[in-house]
Chain A
Amino acid sequence: MRNVSIIGAGMIPVGEHWATSLRELAAEAGVKALEDAGIQTVDAIYIGNAYASTFNQQTQLGALIADFMNLTGTEAYTCEAGDASGGVALRNGYMAVASGAIKSALVIGVEKATDIVGSARTLARSISLDADFESPNGATLTTMAGLLMRRYMYEYDVEISQFEGFSVNAHRNGKRSSYAMYRNTIREGAFAKAPMVSDPVSLFDSAPDGDGAAAVVLVASDHAKDMVPQPITISGSSVKTDRLMLQERDNILKLNAVSQSAQQALKQADLKISDINLMELHDSYTILTTLSFESLGLAELGKGWEWANNGGEQIDLTGKMPISTFGGLKSRGNPCGATGIYQAVEAVHQLRGIATDNQVIDARHAFIQNLGGLASTVVTHILSIENV
């Protein structure tokens, strides 16, 4: 297996791009990444997308997007794992280049959510749950997150207000980023009073769906150094799965795939979690951030929420472990199946030192983790600067 590096990265702001189609979103990010890498063609294009089949009634995104980018004929197809689709597309590109089967890959995460609205979109999103036992009974990602959070609050005697710092931190960082969907700050004390979406998950707790696209270009690390001044190495890559349904898990408050995927990626990178300088966690709900901290071994069981203390001062850009550095899913927006690639592009910006107002100083290793469903699929990548 060869080492693999990212030589190009691009993203567009997450938002309600009403007038921009799926293919246009994907091509815009794809072209940005290719221009950043200084190349015009690649051996393969891998698309991370979760809901084009229900949001847009569109499959075969590979052919669609390759053709639209004037790359007709190129190997191109979708990788899907719910909201972890971007992550698994990156994993797929990594393996293809690492194996030597191809020399270069363009990995695009794209989601066009605003083609449908309201309850139709909620229904279209719930296809990532169990279609025999969960979604037919009215379950959605948000209602399941609500059940999870309620259980956590009951087991560990935690109040809603104690999760506030995660959202405050996300919006504090998103406010500084021109790529973020909601650049407002959340005032202290506002979190627990926000309108309920699915009790106890409120409007200020759950991430907003948005349209978005982000892309990276991968080549073998040996070639990367000759192509761009600041290639970023993928030092760890791992996908693990858990039982799809919460109800089947022995302990719903332990995200086993989060632990296992992180351990495998860290082992490959020969790093400990304490070597990591920043993390992009899948913060679509604060309960997932809380449980991720616990499952990553950064907090004892029942104590993950403590990272949110004091407005999230330990997780801000200068804190002990910065997270959601461009606003995370909560403020940057949740582009569903494109999320994993947004995380990768954000990490690349941090490691190259071009994150401007969102920069984490002296970032050398970034840990990005992308969850499908309620951590049924977990993709971890560790990105590192080249000269480590």
Chain B
Amino acid sequence: MNPNSNWLMKSDRKVGIVGYGSYIPRYRLPGSEVARIWTNGLSGSPVKEKAVAGIDEDVITMSIEAARNAIACANIDPLNIRAVWVGSESHPYAVKPTSTIVAESIGTSSNILAADWEFACKAGTEAVQASIGIVGSGMAKYTMSIGMDTAQGRPGDALEYTAASGGAAFILGAAEEAYAIYQGSYSYVTDTPDFWRRAGEAYPSHGDRFTGEPAYFAHITSAASNLMEIMGSSPEDYTYAVFHQPNVKFPLRAGSMLGFSSEQMQPGLLANEIGNVYSGSCMIGLTATLDVAQPGDRILMVSYGSGAGSDAFDLLVTDKIKDKPNTYITTQNYIQRRTEVDYATYVRYRGKLKE
């Protein structure tokens, strides 16, 4: 079926990003360390290194860090936030919301919506889509949508090279106050079992090479090309493109299949430095891109969550981006704050030794 304008998601009242913030824990595990332990150093790694949460960090503490940065960036009173939504596949509790702890910690009122979202790696962008709806309808002045993970990789599995910790928070509000305006968005989902973690399991399972063509590439390219067709745009209309980045190769290839250059993807492609931060992956790619964006820049952002689906967003950067507070901590600040750990320390920090 050819894309048609009914598929576009666009609110009556224009909505934008009024504040954003990221968080990356300081520890880094080089891919060569994983290779040293599991393949006598013979394997290559899909990323140089990955970010590892410290022993006292989890999705709740990291979400609070990113949310505080977003509030500082927005320079708003948290009491005006009407929803706190946290997308993750590593919520510390199976039952008990991450979002209420985050909300209370950042000083929202109790008169809010709060919930945890799950859709593998697109849980965070799904929460952004919902925020566009709730702010766009006038039900809320501001909402907070967070994508954050301490991703699980089974020791020795291919995913252990990349499964990383980090993410980003976005405050959505009226377009007039926004650093970047959502011009339109679109979602594309199918029943594609490429990657999953059953209840009670510590580590995910995946379909090896099935996670590529029929999963990541099919959904990213469908979502991106359908949105561009509906918007009447083409790759050269965008200053930047940000894709979900499970490694370095996949987003570069998806971008090139769609007609984007590596220069367009460069500011938001962080996988080589921080690994795959799952629900936070393309959201933190977007914060890094907004950090360097100029008024008038247009950004395409496409997430991917296994199981499977993609959210695609068309963003236009406004003049307000020049007025961002100086106190704001950039994503690159976090990338540069780096302490290398060895595999044994990583095992201890991530609780991988079980009795």
Decide yes or no: A117 and B207 within 8 Å by CB, A18-B214, A19-B214 being known contacts: yes
Asked whether, in the complex, the Cβ of A117 is within 8 Å of the Cβ of B209, the reply is yes
Determine whether the beta carbon of B213 is less than 8 Å from that of A18.
yes
A114 touches B210 (CB 8 A): yes
Cα distance A235–B190 in the bound complex, in angstroms? 51
B43 near A195 with CB under 8 A, answer yes
Interface code B26-45, partner A: CB below 8 Å = 1, 0 otherwise? Answer: 00000000000000001100
Q: Which of A19, A118, A195 contacts B208 (CB 8 A)?
A: A118
Q: How far is the CA of A195 from the CA of B41 in the complex (A)?
A: 11
Separation in Å of the A203 CB from the closest CB of chain B? 11
B129 vs chain A, min Cβ distance (A): 27
Tell me, yes or no, whether A386 is within 8 Å of chain B by CB.
no
CB proximity to A under 8 Å, residues B208-264: 208-210, 213-214
Q: Per-position contact with B for A183-198: 1 when CB-CB < 8 Å, else 0? A: 0000000000001100
Place the interface of chain B in its size category.
under 10
Question: What CA separation (Å) do A19 and B210 show in the bound complex?
Answer: 10
Interface residues of chain B: helix, strand, loop or mixed (majority): helix
Q: Is the CB of A18 within 8 A of B43?
A: no
Complex Cα–Cα for A18 and B209 (A) = 10
CB of B204, distance to nearest CB on chain A (Å) = 13
Which B-chain residue is minimally distant from A116 (CB atoms)? B207
The distance in angstroms between the C-alpha atoms of A16 and B213, with both chains bound, is 9
C-alpha spacing A157/B214, complex, angstroms: 45
Does A117 contact B210, Cβ atoms closer than 8 Å? yes
Chain B residue numbers with a CB within 8 Å of A18 are 210, 213-214
B42 (CB) vs chain A CBs: closest residue: A195
| Contact (Cβ within 8 A) B43 A16 | no
B213 contact set on A, CB distance < 8 A: 16, 18
The complex places the Cα of A118 from the Cα of B195 at a distance, in Å, of 13
Within 8 A of B (CB), among A114-128: 114, 117-118
Within the complex, what minimum Cβ distance (angstroms) separates B6 from chain A? 27
For residue B171, give the distance in angstroms from its CB to the closest CB of chain A.
40
A318 to B345 alpha-carbon distance, docked (Å): 58
| Chain A residues with CB below 8 A from B207, complex form | 117
CB contacts (< 8 Å) of A19 on chain B: these are 214
Q: Which residue of A lies closest to B215 (CB)?
A: A18
- Which residue of chain A lies nearest to B40 when distances are taken between CB atoms in the complex? A196
Could you say which residues of chain B place their CB within 8 Å of the CB of A114?
Answer: 210
Q: Which residues of B contact A196 (CB under 8 A)?
A: 42
CB closest chain-A residue, reference B192: A18
Taking the nearest CB of chain B, how far is it from the CB of A114, in angstroms? Answer: 7
In the complex, the answer to whether A117 meets B214 with C-beta atoms within 8 Å is: no
Encoded as 1 (CB less than 8 Å from any A CB) or 0, chain B from 192 to 214 comes to 00000000000000011110011
**A117/B43 in contact, CB under 8 A:** no
Q: Mark A211-255, 1 if CB is under 8 A from B, else 0.
A: 000000000000000000000000000000000000000000000
Q: Are A16 and B42 in contact (CB under 8 A)?
A: no
What's the least CB distance linking B222 to chain A, in Å?
14
Q: Is the CB of B42 within 8 A of A117?
A: no
The chain A residue sitting closest to B43, CB to CB, is A195
Q: State how many angstroms separate the Cβ of A110 from the closest Cβ of chain B.
A: 20
Instruction: Give Cα distance in the complex from A118 to B210, angstroms.
Output: 10
Interface residues of A in 12-32 (CB under 8 A from B): 16, 18-19
* Chain A residue nearest to B212 in the complex (CB): A16
- What's the least CB distance linking A158 to chain B, in Å? 22
Of residues B42, B208, B214, which shows the largest number of chain A Cβ atoms within 10 Å of its Cβ?
A: B208
A118 contacts across to B, CB distance below 8 A: 208
User: Who on chain B is nearest to A16 by CB?
Assistant: B209
In angstroms, Cα B42 to Cα A16, docked, is 27
Q: Tell me, in angstroms, the Cα distance from A196 to B42 when the chains sit together.
A: 9
User: Which residues of B are found within 8 Å of A195, using beta-carbon distances?
Assistant: 42-43
User: In the complex the two chains form, what is the Cα distance from A128 to B20 in whole Å?
Assistant: 57
Whole-angstrom CA separation of A117 from B43 in the bound complex: 20
- Distance (whole angstroms) from the CB of A125 to the closest CB of chain B: 15
Complexed CA–CA distance, A120 and B121 (Å): 25
Minimum C-beta distance from A206 to chain B (A): 16
Considering the complex, which residues of chain B in the window 17-60 have a beta carbon less than 8 Å from any beta carbon of chain A?
42-43
Measured in the bound complex, the distance between the Cα atoms of B210 and A196 in whole Å is: 22
The complex places the Cα of A16 from the Cα of B210 at a distance, in Å, of 9
Say how far B210's CB is from chain A's closest CB, in angstroms: 6
* Cα distance A19–B42 in the bound complex, in angstroms: 34
Query: Quick one: closest A residue to B211, CB to CB?
Result: A117
Bound Cα distance from A118 to B214, whole angstroms? 17
User: For residues 118 through 161 of chain B, which have their beta carbon under 8 Å from a beta carbon of chain A?
Assistant: none
Q: Which residues of A contact B214 (CB under 8 A)?
A: 18-19
CA distance A297 to B207 in the complex (A): 44
Note all chain A residues with C-beta closer than 8 A to B208: 117-118
Q: A16-B210, A19-B214, A117-B210 are in contact. List 13 more A-B contacts (CB 8 A).
A: A16-B209, A16-B213, A18-B210, A18-B213, A18-B214, A114-B210, A117-B207, A117-B208, A117-B209, A118-B208, A195-B42, A195-B43, A196-B42
7 A–B contact pairs at CB < 8 A? A18-B210, A18-B214, A117-B210, A118-B208, A195-B42, A195-B43, A196-B42
Q: Which 10 A-B pairs have the closest CB atoms?
A: A117-B208, A18-B214, A118-B208, A117-B207, A117-B210, A18-B210, A16-B209, A195-B42, A19-B214, A195-B43
